[in-house]
Amino acid sequence: MAVVLAAGKGTRMRSKTPKVLHKVGGLAMVDHVLAAARSAGAAKAALVVGPDAPWAAGRGSDTVSVHVQAEQKGTGDAVLAAKEAFAGADAVVVLYGDNPLVTAATIDRMLDRVLGGADLAVLAFRTDAPVGYGRIILSESGNVVAIREEKDASPEERAITLCNSGVMAIRAGAPLDALSAIKANNAKGEYYLTDLVEIGAARGFNMVWEEAPFSEVMGCNDRAQLAEAEAEFQRRARAKALETATLIDPATVYFSHDTVIGEDVTIEPNVVFGPKVAVGDGAKILAFCHLTETVISPGASVGPFARSRGGAAIGPGAKIGNFVELKNAALATGVKVSHLTYLGDASVGEEANIGAGTITCNYDGVNKHRTEIGAGAFIGSNSALVAPVSIGEGAFVASGSVITEDVPADALAIARGRQATKPDRSPLASGRDTAKRASKG
């Protein structure tokens, strides 16, 4: 069982967006935490929010319950706000909605400790700059005996570099019941979860600790820390991608939380992956591409300077060249769209060739319409296909055409004004004659 605390107001973000909804890797921080808990095997989660959190309703489900902390009275009070959810649970791990980088492996280790016999497990981290963090005090045997806030610590305790992350796992029974013994006898009049350690020490609890790197437990209280979390997320995502793909300049490639990269993929510099992108084996993503909601099949090539979005699908071996934009377009095997083209709300059959400057005119100002291009069709450069329209298999659209009617299979369609040539009527020639006369005068 996981309890995710997300009731903080996040005033330091200076944003109308609730703090935990700010995104890292394209996903709200609180959703990162819920996903990590789920991956760790926590069958259920309780999300604790403030009294004005309409966003939380959409996250409630059979496995996620939503609970309101009516007043901001500290972390201990926040956990108790979800008490009905963890009744009957074997153990509870307390997580924070603004700690998006905590991993499933760490959560799993915390739960294992309390399910394996410990009453309480505290997640710690080490830092050479511990100012502002609570210090974890250990016994000679290495168990946790106290968490000392800096303002209450002695000079010797302040020198300790083992710090409290806030994440805690609590065994069912006496340890969980001890939450009710937390008192608000402090300057702020709040109920602190860390006081559970002091209560546990007095009651003889077996209290242990696990360690995680600071990069995993860092909180995001302002936009600078949010940027640091994003940088760490991207570092992890790049390392994962490099297991199967070649990144020419990893530091310039940006991934989403759900990007899927196949084997033997090559990704050139300055590529941005938005949400819902999957890249098949052997595909190439050339420099300066921006991709969202796109499936790229094995062996396809995209870019440079290409944009794809809105549910696009690029078939095996297809080629998408420079300055091509796809939106809700399905391209079959071997399609070539080499440059300077917009395909929106379109389907393109196998081995079709789309010439430079082609656009699908998919929007009439009110509704979107679809363009269908058959297998083996050839669309000449600088053509406009006014949807809804269908181009048959093997059809040929002459360059510069504006197509407003369906073109049958194997037909030639020409839809452009007839050229008229007027000898000696060029304005440039007229200007040159005037200049000559003026120079002679």
Active site residue 257: no
> Do 207 and 262 belong together in one domain?
no
- Indicate if 121 and 208 belong to the same structural domain: yes
Residues 110 and 160 in one domain: yes
- Residue tagged 């300066």 (tokens): 288
- Could you tell me which residues come within 8 angstroms of residue 301 by beta carbon, excluding any fewer than 6 positions away? 283, 284, 286, 318, 319, 320
Residues 341 and 358 sit within 8 Å (Cβ to Cβ): yes
DSSP lists the bridge partners of residue 324 as 341
Cis peptide before 130 (omega within 30 of 0): no
Which residue range(s) make up the domain with 81? 2-217
In this structure, the answer to whether residues 333 and 267 fall within a common structural domain is yes
DSSP 191: -
100 and 165 fall within a common domain: yes
CATH of the domain at 397: 2.160.10.10
Domains contained in the chain, number:
2
Decide if 230 is inside a domain.
Answer: no
Answer yes or no: do 164 and 47 share one domain.
yes
Q: For the chain, what percentages of helix, strand and coil (3-state, to nearest 5) are there?
A: 25, 30, 45
User: 24 and 95: one domain?
Assistant: yes
Asked whether residue 155 falls in the same domain as residue 65, the answer is yes
Phi, psi dihedrals of residue 98, rounded to the nearest 5°: -110, 20
Best CA proximity match to 402, nearest among 361, 369, 343: 361
* Domain stops at, among 185, 217, 249: 217
Long-range contacts of residues 326-330, Cβ cutoff 8 Å, at least 24 apart: 326/294
- Asked if residue 395 and residue 279 are part of one domain, the reply reads yes
Selection from 1, 12, 4, 100 nearest residue 49 by Cα: 4
Query: Residue 278 has what DSSP assignment?
Result: E
Q: Which of 358, 365, 330 is nearest to 346 (CA)?
A: 330
Q: Which of 67, 290, 339, 369 is catalytic?
A: 339
**Same domain, yes or no, for 402 and 253?**
yes
Provide DSSP, 284-316: EE-SS-EE-SEEE-TT-EE-SS-EEESSEEE-T
Give me the sign of the Cα torsion angle 179, 184, 190, 195: negative
Strands (E), 129-182: 135-138, 144-148, 162-171
My answer on whether 94 and 207 are in the same domain is: yes
Walk along the chain (441 residues) and give the pLDDT tens digit of each residue.
999 999 988 889 999 999 999 999 999 999 999 999 999 999 999 999 999 899 999 999 999 999 999 998 999 999 999 999 998 899 999 999 999 999 999 999 999 999 999 999 999 999 998 998 999 999 999 999 999 988 888 999 999 999 999 999 999 999 999 999 999 888 788 999 999 999 999 999 999 999 999 999 999 999 999 999 999 999 999 999 999 999 999 999 999 999 999 999 999 999 999 999 999 999 999 999 999 999 999 999 999 999 999 999 999 999 999 999 999 999 999 999 999 999 999 999 999 999 999 999 999 999 999 999 999 999 999 999 999 999 999 999 999 999 999 999 999 999 998 889 989 888 777 666 666 666 666
